[in-house]
Amino acid sequence: MPMSAEYPWTKSPLIASAPMTKVAMPKLAVAVSKAGGLGFIAAGYSSDNLEDLLEEAEKLLLQESMPEMKMKTETETEGPKLLPIGVGFITWSASLEKALASFSRYCPAAFWLFAPARGFKDLIPWAEQIRKVTVDRTRIWVQVGCVAHAVEAVGAIDPDVIVVQGIDAGGHARAQGASIISLLPEISDKLRELRPASAKQVGLVAAGGISDSRGVLAAMALGAQGCVLGTRFLASCECVVADGYQKAILDASDGGMSTVRTTIYDKPHGYDGRGLINKTYVDHMAGLSEIENGKLYRDELDRGDGGYGTDGRLTTYAGTGVGLIKKVTPAGDIVKSLHEEVSATLYGGGNLSRL
Ligand SMILES: Cc1cc2nc3c(=O)[nH]c(=O)nc-3n(C[C@H](O)[C@H](O)[C@H](O)COP(=O)(O)O)c2cc1C
Quick check: helix, strand or coil at residue 38?
strand
- One domain for residues 195 and 213: yes
Cβ of 168 less than 6 Å from ligand 1: yes
Among the residue ranges 24-28, 67-71, 96-100, 306-310, the one predicted with the least confidence is 67-71
Average pLDDT over residues 296-316: 95
Nearest CA to ligand 1 atom 30: 171
Asked whether residue 152 falls in the same domain as residue 106, the answer is: yes
Asked if residue 333 and residue 264 are part of one domain, the reply reads no
Q: Using one digit for the tens of pLDDT, what is the confidence trace for 167-226?
A: 999 999 988 999 999 999 999 999 999 988 878 889 999 999 999 999 999 999 999 999
CB of 25 within 6 A of ligand 1: the answer is: no
- State the pLDDT at residue 101: 85
Residues facing 83 on adjacent strands: 108
- Report the percentage of the chain scoring pLDDT > 90: 77
Q: Is 165 in the pocket of ligand 1 (CB under 6 A)?
A: yes
Same domain, 227 and 256: no
Give the lowest-confidence range in 27-31, 94-98, 236-240: 94-98
CA of 227 to the centre of ligand 1 (A): 12
Query: How much is the mean pLDDT over the chain?
Result: 92
Domain residues for the domain of 341 are: 3-237+329-354
| Band of pLDDT at residue 28, cut at 50, 70 and 90 | very high
Minimal-distance CA residue to ligand 1 atom 3: 20
**Nearest ligand 1 atom to alpha carbon 114:** 11
CA-CA distance, 12 to 268, in Å (whole number)?
A: 35
In this structure, the answer to whether residues 46 and 185 fall within a common structural domain is yes
Domain count, the chain: 2
pLDDT band at 66 (very low <50, low <70, confident <90, very high): low
Predicted pLDDT of residue 355: 40
Cis bond before residue 116 (omega within 30° of 0): no
Q: How many helices (H) and strands (E) does the chain have?
A: 13, 11
Question: According to the 3-state scheme, what is the secondary structure of 172-211?
Answer: EEECCCCCHHHHHHHHHHHHHHHCCCCCCCCEEEEECCCC
Q: Can you tell me the distance from the alpha carbon of 48 to that of 71, in angstroms, rounded to the nearest whole number?
A: 25
Is 275 a pocket residue for ligand 1 (Cβ < 6 Å)?
A: no
pLDDT exceeds cutoff 70 at 68? no
Does residue 131 sit in the same domain as residue 269? no
Burial of residue 292 (CB within 10 Å: 0-12, 13-18, 19+) is exposed
24, 18 Cβ separation under 8 angstroms: yes
β-sheet bridge partners, residue 144: 164
The CATH number of whichever domain residue 133 belongs to comes to 3.20.20.70
The span from the CA of 318 to the CA of 239, in Å, is 14
What's phi and psi for 134, nearest 5 deg?
Answer: -95, 10
pLDDT for 310:
92
Q: Are 221 and 263 within one domain?
A: no
Residues 179 and 76 in one domain: yes
Ligand 1 atom with least separation from CA of 169: 23
> Which of 15, 17, 21, 38 to mutate to test ligand 1, by most ligand atoms within 8 A of the CB atom?
21
Same domain, 270 and 218: no
Work out whether strand 161-165 and strand 139-144 pair parallel, antiparallel, or are unpaired.
parallel
Pair (307, 346) in one structural domain: no
Residue in 15, 17, 20 to alter for ligand 1 test, most ligand atoms within 8 A of Cβ: 20
Q: Give the pLDDT score at 78.
A: 64
The pLDDT, as a whole number, for residue 113 is 97
Query: Which of 58-62, 69-73, 133-137, 160-164 holds the top average pLDDT?
Result: 160-164
Best CA proximity match to 216, nearest among 231, 229, 233: 229
Decide: 133 and 103 in contact? Cβ < 8 Å. yes
261-289 average pLDDT score? 91
- DSSP 3-state assignment of 138? coil
Q: State if residue 207 touches ligand 1 by the CB under 6 angstroms criterion.
A: yes
pLDDT of 6 > 90? The answer is no
Task: Give φ, ψ of 248 to 5 degrees.
Answer: -60, -35
pLDDT in tens, 130-157: 999 888 899 999 999 999 999 999 999 9
Q: Looking at the structure, do residues 312 and 350 belong to the same domain, yes or no?
A: no
pLDDT tens sequence across 160-170: 999 999 999 99
**Alpha-carbon dihedral 223, 228, 232, 233, rounded to 10 degrees:** 160
CA of 78 to the centre of ligand 1 (A): 33
Q: Which residue, judged by its Cα, is nearest atom 11 of ligand 1?
A: 114
Quickly state the pLDDT bin for 13 (edges 50, 70, 90). very high
Q: Are residues 116 and 72 in the same domain?
A: yes
Q: Is pLDDT of 107 > 70?
A: yes
pLDDT interval class at 261 (50, 70, 90)? very high
276 lines ligand 1 (CB under 6 A): no
Q: 3-state DSSP call for residue 237? A: coil
Listed in sequence order, the residues at least 6 apart from 319 whose beta carbon sits closer than 8 Å to its beta carbon are: 168, 169, 170, 171, 208, 209, 211, 230, 231, 255, 259, 274
The distance of Cα 306 from the centroid of its chain, to the nearest Å, equals 27
Beta carbon of 170 within 6 Å of any ligand 1 atom? yes
- Please give the pLDDT value at position 354: 44
